[in-house]
Structures are given as C-alpha cells and as structure tokens.
Structure 1
Amino acid sequence: MFTGIIEELGTVRHVAPGNLELAARTVLEGTHLGDSIAVNGVCLTVTALSPGGFTADVMPETLRRSGLGQLRPGSKVNLERAMAANGRFGGHIVTGHIDGTGTVSSLRREGNAVWVTIAAPPELLAGIVEKGSIAIDGISLTVADVTDRDFAISIIPHTGAQTTLLDRKAGDTVNLETDILGKYVAKLLGREEPKSSGITMEFLAQHGF
C-alpha cells in the first residue's frame, strides 16, 4: 500500500521488453529484492538492484492499463516506496493498481496554484467525486471539480516542484487510480459503474432503512 506522497523523482535508464531500469537514490534506502515501489503510481516489484538504481519487471497487462509504455530513457518518474507500518499516513490509500488513464486537457495558473484539467472515460469519472481523493501518476491529490467529461485539481507550489505533474502538457497521458474506498462501496451496493446504483426503496427497507 502507498500514500501518494512522492518521495523523489527518478529517471528512466533503460526500457526493454518486460522490464524497466530506473535511476534513484532515496527509494533505494532499505529496499530489497521483491519489495514494491510505485513508479508513476504503478506498483512494481524490484527484481534487481544496482548502484544508484533498480530494475522492475513490467507485464503486458500493466502496459495496457497504464502510461508506462510511453516512457523513454531520460523520462522523469514519480517514485514512492510502500508505506511503512510506523510511518505517517499523509495522503490517502493508494494501492498502485491503475484503473486506467486520462489525458491532460489544460493547465491554468491561478495565483500561486496551477489548475490541471484531465479528461477521463465515464467509467473512471463515475468513481471521482468533488473534494474526494485521486492518484494521478501516483500523486495523492484532492479533486476540485468534476464534470461528465473531465475533472480538475489545483496544484500547490510544493507538489508542483516535487513531482512530474507540472511538466505535463495538453495531450499527455497520465495514470489514474480512483479512491479504493469508493470502489468497495460501489461493489457492496451492487453498482457496476457507470450504470445506475441499483438502490431502490425496497432495497433500503430490506436493510432496515
């Protein structure tokens, strides 16, 4: 499990069929073979360690569901180790299992913040709520606005400086993970997004409401 609080920016060293080699420093501290590291929000398993870097296997399903396939040598990526049991929970529950991708529509400055609008498919927007949590390329962020076509977040200077998000431009692909709590609630209520909730007066009466 992750928190969406990025620990450092890594750099892609090499991309090959089935694996990804990255340069990093902070996330290597205490890391062993088999540990999990989120790369742009995608949970990957460390399969090799080298001076100043690590290698992770990437299976075809991961490439299909995320934007990792677009990485090239020199690309910057957001990195986070799995949360330690004794650590502070500064973001929200992030599993590292990407739900799908979105497309950056625009970036607009407002005072010291930058609004980033991201277009997403209906099945993902169904699980995104205003003032709820969203992980974009592994970054824990608060949703500021949602429409039937896209959603927007407002980036503070610290987040912009410590992550790759403000390096994005209109048309870029980003990895999205919606709130896991919302997905479980939707499942328990019998809702298959983006269909209707399935909650009826009879359902409520049967469950004591």
Structure 2
Amino acid sequence: MRAVERSGRTLRLAISAGSLAAGLAVGESVAVNGVCLTVTKANGGEFWADVMPETFDRTALARLRPGEPVNLERPLSPSGRLGGHLVQGHVDGVGTVTAVREEENARILSIRAPAGVLRYLVPKGSVAVDGVSLTVVDVASDHFTVSLIPHTAAVTTLGRRRPGDPVNLEVDVIAKYVERFVSLHLGAAEGRSTPRGAAGPAD
C-alpha cells in the first residue's frame, strides 16, 4: 500500500502492484484483501481505487496504512483453472484473529466471526479470509479455525496476522443461494398447505 487518503468514511488507495498491474485499465476490478474494488487510475506498476462509505463500514479496509502489504487478485478469466472456491470479493463480515499457533508445518488461526458468517461455515467447507481461499478446520459457537501451509503463510498477509487483527470474511456464495432457495420454497409450500381445520379437496 503506497498511500491511503482518507476523507470521512471514504478512502482513496494507491497500490504498488508491480507486474500484477500490467495492462490494468480504468474500470477493471481488483480484489484488495478480499474486497472487490474498481480501478480508477492505472500507471505502470501502480493503480488507484476508491472506497465508498458502504465498503468502509463493512470491511477492514479502514485499518490500512501506507507501507502495509495487501493481498491482490485479478478476476479469473473464463479459461482459467478454479483452484479454490468461487470468491466474489463481496465481504460478508469482519472477523478478528483471536489466536495463532504453530503445529509442525502448519500455522493455525482462530478467528472470531459474526453469527451471520458462522451460520454458513462447516468443517471442510470453504471460506475466504482477506481474499485467501481456505478450508475450514473447525467451527465453534463464536469462532472458526483455518490452517495455513508454509507457502500460504509466506505469500499472503495471513502469515503476518496476530491476535487482535481484523480480517475480511466471505462465505461460500453457493451456501447463501441454497439457503435463500430453500427458505423461499419452504415458505411457498407452507402457504399452499391446507390450513388446520379447513376442508381438503374431495376424493
């Protein structure tokens, strides 16, 4: 992060991205710590993006400071390989790292999360933490855990996370669509059911 300009609940970010910024054009999307942002200016190895109040309030981008590293990802092309899970860059909530421990070659993060996020998580399911697609290890009443291999810890900001750090969380979009579909169809089915005490159709 080269520069952060803050005005009220808005931000203007200037990000040095090296080769990742090559060919970026105004209007394209880039995920910054898991938040889908629109490129407003691109010049060589840098690009700029604006953060509006909605994004400011619902993500951890407000904590960014100049010089701080960020996770960057450009959109997947139609011909690309889907190596993780579908991540849209639409943050569902902000979590807080509560514990970090090492287990042989793994780095285990415990993350406290809002109930609205936890409801969609299952062990061995997927979650994006600061834009990094991870497998959920375990889910508790107020937190979940993920495990990082050394490569992930080395090439993303998650290797730097410490207890107290906020992180952007995005659940698997398929889980949200399934819940919506089921709730709508259950409601419709209940609405079509015969009210208690009413006469049903004649045989």
Structures share fold, TM-score greater than 0.5:
yes
Unaligned stretches of 5+ in structure 1? 1-10, 192-197
Which residue type is aligned with residue 172 of structure 2? Answer: D
Give the match for residue 52 of structure 1. Answer: 45
Q: 1:189 aligns with which of 182, 187, 201?
A: 182
Unaligned stretches of 5+ in structure 2? 194-203
Q: Distance in 2 between matches of 1:80 and 1:62?
A: 18
Asked whether the 8 Å contact 1:127–1:182 carries over to 2, the reply is: yes
- 2:99 counterpart of 1:106: yes
Give the match for residue 109 of structure 2. Answer: 116
Which residue type is aligned with residue 16 of structure 2? Answer: A
- Identity rate of aligned residues, in percent? 48
Q: What is the 5 A alignment of 1:1-209?
A: 11-17=1-7, 18-190=11-183
Q: Distance in 2 between matches of 1:73 and 1:14?
A: 6
Q: Which has the higher contact order (CA 8 A, sep 6+)?
A: 1
CA shift for structure 1 position 184: 0.3
Q: Distance in 2 between matches of 1:179 and 1:105?
A: 22
Could you give the per-residue CA deviations for residues 118-155 of structure 1, whole angstroms, max 9, x where no partner exists?
A: 00111110011110110000000000000111000010
Moved runs in structure 1, 4+ residues, more than 4 A?
none
Could you give the per-residue CA deviations for residues 167-203 of structure 1, whole angstroms, max 9, x where no partner exists?
A: 0110110000000000000111118xxxxxx969x76
Q: TM-score, normalised by structure 2?
A: 0.87
Q: TM-score, normalised by structure 1?
A: 0.85
Asked which structure has the greater CA Rg, the reply is 2
Which residue type is aligned with residue 64 of structure 1? Answer: D
Asked whether the 8 Å contact 1:14–1:73 carries over to 2, the reply is: yes
Asked whether the 8 Å contact 1:144–1:153 carries over to 2, the reply is: yes
**RMSD over equivalenced CA pairs, Å:** 1.8
Which is helix-richer, 1 or 2? 2
For the residue of structure 2 that corresponds to 1:124, the secondary structure is helix
